[in-house]
């Protein structure tokens, strides 16, 4: 296995719940003592139910959530950062190396910008290109990789379907040539046929652009298909981390087994109740 791109040690993210006059306020432990490592070039799945802390963890890796304790190391061979203590200039550089793909392609794109401007915005904000011509070149390049044509670039987001919008959203995240991408429920809002299309696109982009992807999802069957390694979270705690095949063939934790057995089977005769659905 290759060296880890991201190494997380005992990461905790706590949010205070209200204020007290005497003593410390209660805290919500959104992420509690989580350690994991994401190998370079990996397609790493992070699964869990709503409220399990998977989104908060993903955001912390991008320095978009406050880190209470523990450390996040990023090392892509060119630079190495301690994500929790980045200075201003380093943070700016880190932003171009680590990017986020959002869940809802309807909310993530500004309705008043053309697709070209949406994709070019990160380049302009981070001043990564020297001229407009260079920006346009980069935009066209990434757009064609995400199967958007030149004519699409002149239009506004409302003219696109959900799948096309998600491709625009992906192009925007990848235009600054990041090494690390967090895809937070990137296919959850899409229909199954479009979901398959976006998953295939993410796989080919990962290969062509040498990306490392953290794929956050509540859908175990999707994760099983695209990821090489999976971590399962429950109530802020990391329950299990294993290569995908191993985890699905032989889940060690009772919670993982319960998650697996709750997935509705396509076979009408394989009933849910036959597969130990625990009722709380």
Partner 1 sequence: MTALVEVENLTIRFRTDEGVITVVENVSFSLNKGEVLGLVGESGSGKSVTAKALMHLNAGNVLYEPGSKITLHSGSGPIDVLSLASPAELSVVRGRAVSMIFQEPMASFAPAITIGAQMVEQLLIHTDMGKRAARKLSIEMLDRVGIKEPDKRIDQYAFELSGGMRQRAMIAMALSTKPALLIADEPTTALDVTIQAQVIELMKGLVDEFGMGILFITHDLGVIAQTADRVAVMYLGRIMETGPVRNVIRSPAHAYTRGLINALPKLDDLDAPLTPIPGDIPSPLERPSGCVFHTRNPELAPGSRYEREVPPLSQIGPGHYAALFPEDVQQQTAQGEAVTS
What residues line the site for partner 1 (CB under 8 A)?
49-50, 161-164, 191-197, 199-200, 218-222, 224-225, 244-245, 248, 258-269, 271-273, 277-279
Q: What's the closest the beta carbon of residue 103 comes to partner 1, in angstroms?
A: 13
In terms of CB distance, is 49 or 141 closer to partner 1? 49
In terms of CB distance, is 133 or 192 closer to partner 1? 192
In terms of CB distance, is 84 or 262 closer to partner 1? 262
In terms of CB distance, is 86 or 224 closer to partner 1? 224
In terms of CB distance, is 43 or 74 closer to partner 1? 43
Q: What's the closest the beta carbon of residue 60 comes to partner 1, in angstroms?
A: 22
Q: What's the closest the beta carbon of residue 102 comes to partner 1, in angstroms?
A: 18
Q: What's the closest the beta carbon of residue 92 comes to partner 1, in angstroms?
A: 37
Q: How far apart are CA 62 and CA 276, in angstroms?
A: 38
The runs of H, that is alpha helices, within the chain are 54-61, 88-97, 115-125, 132-145, 150-153, 162-174, 192-209, 220-226, 244-249, 254-261
Q: What's the closest the beta carbon of residue 234 comes to partner 1, in angstroms?
A: 11
Tell me which residue has tokens 């981070």.
Answer: 126
| Residues with Cβ within 8 Å of residue 75, at least 6 apart in sequence | 3, 4, 5, 7, 81
């Amino acid at each position: 296995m290759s060296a880890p791109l991201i190494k997380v040690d005992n990461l905790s993210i706590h949010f205070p719940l209200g204020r007290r006059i005497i003593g410390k306020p209660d805290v919500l432990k959104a992420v509690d003592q989580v350690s994991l490592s994401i190998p370079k070039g990996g397609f790493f799945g992070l699964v869990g139910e709503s409220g399990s802390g998977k989104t908060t963890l993903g955001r912390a890796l991008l320095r978009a959530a406050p880190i209470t304790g523990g450390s996040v190391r990023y090392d892509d061979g060119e630079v190495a950062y301690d994500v929790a203590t980045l200075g201003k200039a380093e943070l700016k550089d880190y932003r171009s190396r680590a990017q986020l793909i959002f869940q809802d392609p309807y909310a993530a794109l500004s309705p008043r910008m053309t697709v070209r401007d949406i994709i070019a915005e990160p380049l302009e904000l981070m001043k990564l290109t020297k001229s407009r011509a260079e920006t346009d070149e980069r935009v066209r390049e990434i757009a064609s990789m995400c199967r958007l044509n030149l004519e699409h670039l002149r239009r506004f987001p409302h003219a696109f379907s959900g799948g096309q919008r998600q491709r625009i959203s992906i192009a925007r995240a990848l235009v600054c040539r990041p090494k690390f991408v967090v895809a937070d429920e990137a296919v959850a809002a899409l229909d199954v046929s479009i979901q398959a299309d976006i998953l295939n696109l993410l796989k080919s982009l990962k290969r062509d652009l040498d990306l490392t992807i953290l794929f956050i999802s509540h859908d175990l069957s999707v994760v099983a298909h695209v990821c090489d390694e999976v971590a399962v979270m429950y109530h802020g705690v990391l329950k299990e981390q294993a290569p995908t095949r191993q985890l699905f063939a032989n889940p060690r934790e009772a919670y993982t087994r319960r998650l697996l057995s709750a997935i509705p089977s396509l076979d009408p005769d394989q009933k849910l109740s036959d597969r130990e659905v625990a009722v709380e």
